[in-house]
Amino acid sequence: MERLRLIPSIDTLQKDEVFEAILQEETVSKALLTKWLKAIVDDIRKQILNGEFPFHVKNERDFALIIMNRLQKRYETFTKRNNLQPVINAAGVVIHTNLGRSRLSDRAIEHITETAKHYSTLEYEMTSGKRGSRHSIVEAYLVEMTGAEAALVVNNNAAAVYLVLKALAEDKEVIVSRGELIEIGGSFRISEIMRLSNAKLVEVGTTNKTKLGDYKTAITEDTGMILKVHKSNFAMIGFTEEVDTEALVKLAKEHGLVVYEDLGSGTFYDFKKANIGAEPTVQEQVKKGIDLISFSGDKLLGGPQAGIIVGKKKYVDRLKKHQLARVLRVDKFTLAGLEATLKTYLADRESGEIPTVRDILLSEEEIYERAQTFLQAVEEKMEGFTCTLKKGVSKVGGGTMPEVDLPTYIVEVTHQTLTSEALAKKLRELATPIIVRIKNDAVQLDFRTVTDGELQVVIEGFLEIGKRQ
Ligand SMILES: *Cc1c(COP(=O)(O)O)cnc(C)c1O
């Protein structure tokens, strides 16, 4: 325990040249740096007491060196890496929820940047010079795009579902098919949201079959709403039956009920025409006469995180006036990103300019080109590695179109001694981390979502790892 007395005081450590050099860089406050210093000293003290301190120290200077080395490391992690940092998605999942779902278009990024830099007309009416409403920033575009009477944007689609239920079905019964009581992403459950909003869930039908008669017999004088939930992240096969939206709308009209559809992903682009999936567009659903429809901004739409609600004006007005609309409102960056994204759709330019739409539509041939470029650049320079070009499938992701396989080409990479997990870890540790899929005990690279610029970074990353092996 003699050694404990050799630990320099915080005062002395603060005068160390390493401490002073870090402060000079002006990227961390003296208070925070001192806090780290104290934590490191505490740790060392504990290690010594537990007999876990592995170093032989003879004097204060030895201790100072060890402490400053740890401080330097902590500082480097702090400055070099943000906790939210860019990565390259080579995992073959376009709307990768864990990697931030959709990348935004250049137009959207520009509009967000200018909105961040300057004051804006967020709640300011230019003609009168008086207070305006943020609700009106994107409403007209949404109305134009979908054919609905009115629109409202909130934080995300989960918030949209909550707001609709709370504002229009509190203390009322809401009829939902048992086949649609979904859970999304491990945390969004229709039954839970329903409980929180004080709406009473009335389940009808069975897991695989629900008929119009099931809805009909469930209607009582306490019924307020019929809810239809899009089966985003799973598909049912075999003997199944669900009720057409049109039939539900008719039934609801006859009984004066609100019909609301949680569309989940919600697309404006008709992927069916490109032979991808069977997702109905928002426009098609609006035409069927549903009172309210909600969907995400950052799934198939390819915009920022948002929950978009479109539908009949009398209902949207009630939502706008509800206190919760204030609680769940979106910020100016979301509105800027969404405005630019919606304008891209109105210009018919989504298939080229919105990364999510573009990447889903990307052809096998284009991906093949990228895979070839990669192979030619690395193949002969990476000793011990084997790269194989193969046909494969990419996924849309984001709990969207789970049954759809997008044909792609993948490069499978293996190493003589390195396991695929170890290689994947090395790829994650690069300055710009590369996220890959592991399958058949090999690292698989899918270039569908890797832009040409990113492809160069991937190549450099591999060559760097190759050199170190
Ligand atoms: C994704 C999804 C949600 C949740 O949407 P967020 O925008 O992630 O909040 C809700 N319902 C369905 C059917 C979904 O697919």
Residue 97 Cα to ligand 1 midpoint, Å, equals 11
List the pLDDT tens digit at each of the 469 positions of the chain: 678 889 999 999 999 999 999 999 999 999 999 999 999 999 999 999 999 998 888 899 999 999 999 999 999 989 888 899 999 999 999 999 999 999 999 999 999 999 999 999 999 999 999 999 999 999 999 999 999 999 999 999 999 999 999 999 999 999 999 888 877 666 778 888 999 999 999 999 887 888 899 999 999 999 999 999 987 666 677 777 788 899 999 999 999 999 999 999 999 999 999 999 999 999 999 999 999 999 999 999 999 999 999 999 999 999 999 999 999 999 999 999 999 999 999 999 999 999 999 999 999 999 999 999 999 999 888 889 999 999 999 999 988 888 999 999 999 999 999 999 999 999 999 999 999 999 989 999 999 999 999 999 999 999 999 987 7
**Residues 327, 427 within the same domain:** no
**Residues 376, 335 within the same domain:** no
What residue owns the CA closest to ligand 1's atom 11? Answer: 264
| Residue 415: domain span | 88-97+359-468
What residue owns the CA closest to ligand 1's atom 1? Answer: 264
| Ligand 1 closest atom vs CA 231 | 13
Q: Which of 163, 181, 188, 229 to mutate to test the pocket of ligand 1 (most atoms within 8 A of CB)?
A: 188
Alpha-carbon gap, residue 19 to 258, rounded angstroms: 65
**Residues 147, 205 within the same domain:** yes
Residue 298 Cα to ligand 1 midpoint, Å, equals 10
Residue 296 Cα to ligand 1 midpoint, Å, equals 6
Q: Which residues contact 278 (CB under 8 A, 6 or more apart)?
A: 272
pLDDT score at 240: 75
**Residues 208, 269 within the same domain:** yes
**Residues 169, 216 within the same domain:** yes
Domain boundary among 297, 331, 353: 353
**Residues 295, 411 within the same domain:** no
**Residues 393, 459 within the same domain:** yes
**Residues 254, 381 within the same domain:** no
Residue 180 Cα to ligand 1 midpoint, Å, equals 13
What residue owns the CA closest to ligand 1's atom 7? Answer: 157
Structure-block tokens of residue 382: 């990476």
pLDDT score at 330: 98
Residue 265 Cα to ligand 1 midpoint, Å, equals 7
**Residues 67, 204 within the same domain:** no
Domain boundary among 306, 321, 353: 353
Q: Which residues line ligand 1 (CB under 6 A)?
A: 156-158, 184, 188, 229-230, 232, 262, 264-265, 296, 307, 399
CA distances to 271, 361, 430 from 301, in Å: 11, 13, 31
**Residues 226, 367 within the same domain:** no
What residue owns the CA closest to ligand 1's atom 13? Answer: 264
Q: What is the CATH number of the domain that holds 446?
A: 3.90.1150.180
Q: Which of 296, 299, 305, 396 to mutate to test the pocket of ligand 1 (most atoms within 8 A of CB)?
A: 296
What residue owns the CA closest to ligand 1's atom 15? Answer: 264
pLDDT score at 232: 63
Q: What is the CATH number of the domain that holds 228?
A: 3.40.640.10
Helix 60-80 vs helix 17-24: angle between axes, to the nearest 10 degrees? Answer: 20
Residue 424 Cα to ligand 1 midpoint, Å, equals 30
What residue owns the CA closest to ligand 1's atom 14? Answer: 264
Residue 154 Cα to ligand 1 midpoint, Å, equals 13
Residue 439 Cα to ligand 1 midpoint, Å, equals 28
By CB atoms closer than 10 A (0-12, 13-18, 19+), residue 335 is buried
**Residues 189, 216 within the same domain:** yes
The helix (run of H) or strand (run of E) holding residue 84 is none
Residue pointed to by tokens 């089966």: 231
Tally of domains within the chain: 3
Alpha-carbon gap, residue 405 to 389, rounded angstroms: 18
**Residues 349, 383 within the same domain:** no
Alpha helices in 328-451 (DSSP H): 332-346, 350-353, 355-361, 364-378, 420-428
Residue 108 Cα to ligand 1 midpoint, Å, equals 22
| Ligand 1 closest atom vs CA 161 | 10
- Predicted TM-score (pTM) of the model is 0.91
pLDDT score at 3: 84
What residue owns the CA closest to ligand 1's atom 5? Answer: 157
pLDDT score at 72: 96
